[in-house]
Amino acid sequence: MRTIDVSPLYRSVVGFDRLAQLLETASVDAASGYPPYNIERTDENAYRVEIAVAGFRADELNIEVKENLLTVQGRKAANDEAAQRRFLHRGLAERDFERRFQLADYVIVTEAKLADGLLSISLKRELPEALKPRRIEIATTSAGQSPLIEGEKAA
């Protein structure tokens, strides 16, 4: 069994449609193995996606983030020279592709590099200050001491 039927989820639960959509998208993306990629955790809140894009130049690649969806596209430019070439064996795919990665909330793209046929995309989770844990100081007053009012002891 290679596919998951999530239609029963739509009939019996409310508010989980995004989860069902993610499951459907994951099963479709898993079927396509081109181009190969790695997802690496480089730190507690940092990740790197590496995609093998041999034969593509930087101007033939497009990276876009929209609504927590990272999309990487490769489009080969039309080349008259390539059309005239005659191959005895063609093992390098060099075909157009589109890869999508669903990002968690507060994950942003910090950098993208192309080197040695690998496109490396650095990601970082940046929580807003309001969501970060913070320490709250507890004020105490000792018994027998009265609080100070404007730098003087209260009478």
Give tens-digit pLDDT for 111-152: 999 999 999 999 999 988 888 888 888 988 766 666 666 666
Residue 105: closest CA among 84, 128, 121, 122: 128
d(CA 107, CA 68) in angstroms, rounded, equals: 8
Give the per-residue pLDDT at 149.
62
pTM of the entire structure? 0.68
Percent of the chain whose predicted confidence (pLDDT) is above 70: 70
**Is 64's pLDDT higher than 70?**
yes
Instruction: Spell out the domain ranges in the chain.
Output: 1-31, 34-128
Q: Indicate the pLDDT class of residue 33, thresholds 50, 70 and 90.
A: confident
Give the CA angle between residues 94, 75, 86 to the nearest 5°: 35
Q: Does domain 34-128 have CATH number 3.90.870.10?
A: no
d(CA 58, CA 53) in angstroms, rounded, equals: 10
Three-state DSSP state, 83: helix
Longest dimension (CA), the chain: 100
d(CA 4, CA 20) in angstroms, rounded, equals: 10
Q: What are the residues facing 46 on neighbouring strands?
A: 43, 124
